[in-house]
Structure 1
Amino acid sequence: MDFKSMKYYLYWLYCQFELITCSYLMEPWEKILFYTFNITMLVMISYTAYLFIPVHISTAFQFFLYGLKVAALYNSGLPNKKV
């Protein structure tokens, strides 16, 4: 893919984005506010996901391992043993 067609493709994507968000109807100052708000929200959601998704995955994994441990003890015939 050459540079000219890549430039045209990126411009086409930008036009599609403006059509989908109806931002082509906005004035320049409205576009700045709109894009600033959207980028801020995207950054905040990404940062939150970066912080909390690993914690949730770790907790779910520990819960799953605890369930396997309880099932193994139950199946081994030691139901009176405390976990």
Structure 2
Amino acid sequence: MQQFDLSIIANKRPETLERLLRVMRHRGFEVIKLQTETQDQRIYLQLRLQSEREIDLLRNQLAKLPDVFEIQG
């Protein structure tokens, strides 16, 4: 299993975190570590994930979500 670190900045809405985690799970990624912080109308996430799959698969799907502003890692 490979481990990956991601940083995500997204719009702060009640459903945003749930939607992000659902995409991660559906794409076959397990969350090992999750740290969140909210400022103003944005949510900042630091994640460590593990999977047999390539991280680009997940990055491409997360980037399609309307509330996601930026993904790094």
The structure, 1 or 2, with the larger RCO (C-alpha pairs under 8 Å, 6+ apart) is 2
TM-based fold match above 0.5: no
Q: Which has the higher strand share?
A: 2
Q: Which has the larger radius of gyration?
A: 1
What TM-score, normalized by structure 1, do the two folds share? 0.26
